[in-house]
C-alpha cells in the first residue's frame, strides 16, 4: 500500500490479507509452524529470562552495567507478566527490542517493547491460522461500546451518593475549561 507524502510516494504496510490461493502444502506448513509456535508460546523460564536480560544489559550499557537489583527486577517483572518464551528465543525480536534503548530502560519502556513483540506473535499466530484454515480469516470481535459517549453515566445509587457528598461539602464546584466558558456564555445571553 502506498501513500503520497511531502517526500513523494512512500510504501507503507497495509492490512494483511491471506493469499488468494492456499494450497494443501501451504496449509500443512502453516499448521506445522503453528505447532512450533505453540511449543514456544509457554511462559519463559527464569534461566532464559536471566540470560536475555544480561544480554540486553550488555547491549544497552556496555561497560557500565546497571545494578544487579535492576537486572533482577527486570527478570522478575518479565516472569510475572508471563511473556512467551518465543520472544526470548528469537534473535530478531532481541534486535528489535535492543535497538530501542541506548541505556538500560525502565520497566515501562521495556514492557512496552515486549508487549509489541507479544502482539507481533499474536499477529503471526492469526495469520498462520488463517492460512491453515485455507485462507479464511476469522474476524476479530468488534469492540462494543456499552457506555454512552460523552460524560460517563452513573448508576442511581452512585448519583445519590454524589449528591449527598456535594450537599455536605458546599455544592458542586464550578465547571472548568471549555465547559465553563460555554456555560458562562449561556448565562450571559
Contact call for residues 11 and 2 (beta carbons, < 8 A): yes
Specify the pLDDT at position 62: 67
Decide if pLDDT at 147 tops 50: no
Reported pTM: 0.62
Range of 48-52, 137-141, 158-162, 170-174 with top mean pLDDT = 48-52
The three cell numbers locating residue 14: 497495509
Q: How confident is the model at residue 142 (pLDDT cuts 50, 70, 90)?
A: low
Strands, E assignment, the chain: 2-5, 8-11
Specify the pLDDT at position 112: 94
Give the whole-angstrom CA distance, residue 52 versus residue 74. 10
Q: Considering the chain, what percentage of its residues have pLDDT values greater than 90? A: 35
Give the whole-angstrom CA distance, residue 169 versus residue 178. 25
pLDDT tens per residue across span 68-95:
888 899 999 999 999 999 999 999 999 9
pLDDT tens per residue across span 150-187:
455 667 777 787 788 878 888 777 666 555 555 555 55
Specify the pLDDT at position 5: 74
- Closest Cα to residue 102, out of 73, 62, 52, 71? 62
Lowest-pLDDT range of 29-33, 70-74, 138-142, 164-168? 138-142
Q: What is the mean pLDDT of the chain?
A: 81
Beta-bridged to residue 5, according to DSSP, are: 8
Give the whole-angstrom CA distance, residue 43 versus residue 25. 30
Question: Residue 177: CB partners within 8 Å, gap ≥ 6?
Answer: none
Contact call for residues 158 and 151 (beta carbons, < 8 A): no
Amino acid at each position: 500500500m502506498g501513500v503520497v507524502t511531502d517526500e513523494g510516494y512512500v510504501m507503507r504496510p497495509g492490512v494483511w490479507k491471506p493469499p488468494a490461493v492456499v494450497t494443501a502444502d501451504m496449509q500443512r506448513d502453516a499448521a506445522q509452524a503453528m505447532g512450533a509456535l505453540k511449543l514456544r508460546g509457554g511462559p519463559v523460564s527464569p534461566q532464559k529470562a536471566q540470560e536475555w536480560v544480561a544480554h540486553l544489559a550488555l547491549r544497552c550499557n556496555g561497560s557500565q552495567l546497571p545494578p544487579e537489583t535492576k537486572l533482577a527486577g527486570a527478570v522478575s517483572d518479565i516472569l510475572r507478566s508471563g511473556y512467551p518464551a518465543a520472544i526470548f528465543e528469537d534473535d530478531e525480536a532481541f534486535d528489535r527490542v535492543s535497538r530501542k534503548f541506548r541505556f538500560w530502560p525502565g520497566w515501562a519502556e521495556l514492557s512496552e517493547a515486549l508487549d509489541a513483540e507479544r502482539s507481533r506473535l499474536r499477529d503471526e499466530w492469526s495469520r498462520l491460522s488463517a492460512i491453515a484454515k485455507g485462507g479464511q480469516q476469522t474476524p476479530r470481535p468488534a469492540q462494543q461500546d456499552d457506555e454512552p459517549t460523552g460524560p460517563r453515566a452513573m448508576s442511581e445509587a452512585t448519583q445519590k451518593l454524589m449528591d449527598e457528598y456535594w450537599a455536605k461539602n458546599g455544592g458542586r464546584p464550578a465547571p472548568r475549561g471549555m465547559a465553563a466558558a460555554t456555560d458562562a456564555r449561556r448565562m450571559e445571553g
